[in-house]
Amino acid sequence: MSTLRGKVAVITGGNSGIGYSTARKLKEEGATVIIIGRSQERVNSAAKELDVRGIIADVSDLSAMDKAVHQVKNEFERIDILFVNAGVFIPMPVGQNSEEGFNTLIDINFKGAIFTIEKFLPLLNDGSSIINLSSINAYTGMPNTAVYGATKAALNSYTRAAATELAPRKIRVNAVNPGPIATPIFSKTGMSEEQLKGMGDMMQNRIPLKRYGKPEEIAEMVAFLASDKASFITGSEFNVDGGLNVNPIFAG
Ligand SMILES: NC(=O)c1ccc[n+]([C@@H]2O[C@H](COP(=O)([O-])OP(=O)(O)OC[C@H]3O[C@@H](n4cnc5c(N)ncnc54)[C@H](OP(=O)(O)O)[C@@H]3O)[C@@H](O)[C@H]2O)c1
């Protein structure tokens, strides 16, 4: 398979979960892959396993991102695929949203995502593909996701305007909205095993396909959007969620 042969791809949050699986998939499809993450240890170990280039930067730290862009420019000159994937999930109920949680979510999921694009834009070849990893939480009204969902809705809004503005350069900008995907993101929330199991059971019951998605299933969509097969697709969003967004009241 070589739908991405000759292309250079940057993936933020590429050391874990969806970003890790996508790095593997894009490499399998022939791309040269660079993963960016915030932990030297985790990025180095993932880069070694995947046999890709690893760069350390916290996406919410704009001077660190400037350095990362500089490094990519020095080593690879230009890029063709930007997968804006780094993100965190902090569940908080309305009435108990903390300033710290709000700031972290905004800094990483919104500011970090937007400035990843802003900073890498000068390196993007005409005809490149930007894929923003959003969430169906931008739409679902799921309890405890008011602020998290708002960061993703904001990213989707940016996606639409960016698609229009970058179209003259034939740069396509799309968003992928996953439903629940089995990755380490949930165990990083500080929720207990029991709470995680309760949330997992509840969500699986609501998903028409009755299971969590796999990171590889998101990677397939990202690889398609990154490729020339998606050459007429821009400004769009794709739900990959086992049908959860249709939110059936009477689940079968
Ligand atoms: N899993 C789901 O159910 C689901 C559903 C919808 C949307 N999403 C979105 O999918 C994306 C990937 O999440 P995932 O499920 O694959 O979770 P994950 O396994 O925790 O991966 C998230 C990645 O982002 C990195 N990251 C977090 N904050 C960062 C920062 N400030 N700077 C640089 N890297 C940072 C993480 O680094 P560390 O390893 O150092 O934490 C990790 O590599 C996120 O944007 C998430 O919101 C996930």
Buried b (16+ CB within 10 A) or exposed e, 123-158: bbeeebbbbbbbbbbbbbebebbbbbbbbbbbbbeb
- Indicate the top mutation candidate among 185, 189, 199, 217 to test ligand 1's pocket, ranked by most ligand atoms within 8 A of CB: 185
Model pLDDT, residue 249: 65
Say how far residue 242 (Cα) sits from the centre of its chain: 18
Atom of ligand 1 nearest to the CA of 14: 43
- Is residue 35's pLDDT more than 70? yes
Q: What is the pLDDT of residues 15-34, one digit of tens each?
A: 999 999 999 999 999 999 99
Among 20, 139, 148, 158, the active-site one is 148
Expressed in angstroms and rounded, the spacing between residue 16 Cα and the centre of ligand 1 is 7
C-alpha separations of 177 from 66, 161, 209 in Å: 27, 17, 16
Q: Which atom of ligand 1 is nearest to the CA of 137?
A: 6
Q: Could you identify the atom of ligand 1 that is nearest to the CA of residue 112?
A: 31
Strand partners, 37: 56
The arithmetic mean of pLDDT across residues 28-47, rounded, is 98
pLDDT of residue 102: 98
Lowest mean pLDDT among 109-118, 168-177, 204-213, 243-252: 243-252
All structural domains of the chain, each given as residue ranges with its CATH number in brackets, are: 8-240 (3.40.50.720)
| Catalytic residue flag (residue 148) | yes
Residue 66 CA, ligand 1 centroid: distance in Å: 21
135-181 pLDDT, tens digit each: 999 999 999 999 999 999 999 999 999 999 999 999 999 999 999 99
- Reference 133, options 232, 229, 237; nearest CA is 237
Ligand 1 atom nearest the C-alpha of 61 is 31
Ligand 1 site: residues with CB under 6 angstroms? 12-13, 15-19, 37-39, 42, 58-60, 85-89, 108, 112, 133, 135, 178, 180-181, 183-185, 188
pTM over 0.75: yes
Model pLDDT for residues 114-139, shown as the tens digit of each residue: 999 999 999 999 999 999 999 999 99
Of the pLDDT bands very low, low, confident and very high (cuts 50, 70, 90), residue 203 is confident
For the chain, percent of residues with pLDDT exceeding 70: 98
Task: Please give the pLDDT value at position 224.
Answer: 98
